[in-house]
Amino acid sequence: MPLYEFSCSACSQVSEILCQMGETGQELACPKCGSSGLTKRMSVTAVPQGTSRQPGRTCCGREERCDPPPCGGDFCGRNI
């Protein structure tokens, strides 16, 4: 079930509530005051900007890819 934001018309509390997709908020109660006058809000999404990931390295520390089969376990294919 998805998590939605609802605003209470009685106390203005904004709450995140786990509910069915089709729920409008009319059948839910405010967690703060108990009122049944909740309105579903449009939530803001977070979109990552750029990347902070460093370029990948092989198990032996080199930047070039290893030839197949790839390294695994406790050995490096370049050292065989």
Residue located via tokens 């997709």: 21
43 vs 55, which has greater pLDDT?
Answer: 43
Looking at the domain assignment, is residue 59 inside a domain? no
**Token pair listed for 9:** 């018309």
Q: Which domain covers residue 29, as residue numbers?
A: 3-40
Under DSSP, the state recorded for 79 is G
Q: Is residue 66 in some structural domain?
A: no
Residue 71 within any structural domain of the chain: no
Q: Percentage of the chain surpassing pLDDT 70? A: 64
Q: What's residue 20's pLDDT? A: 82
Q: What pLDDT, in 10s, does the model give residues 9-45?
A: 999 999 998 888 777 777 889 999 999 888 888 877 7
**Does residue 56 sit within a domain?**
no
Statement: residue 79 has pLDDT above 80: no
Query: What are the residues facing 50 on neighbouring strands?
Result: none
Domain membership of residue 12 (yes or no) is yes
In a domain, 31, yes or no: yes
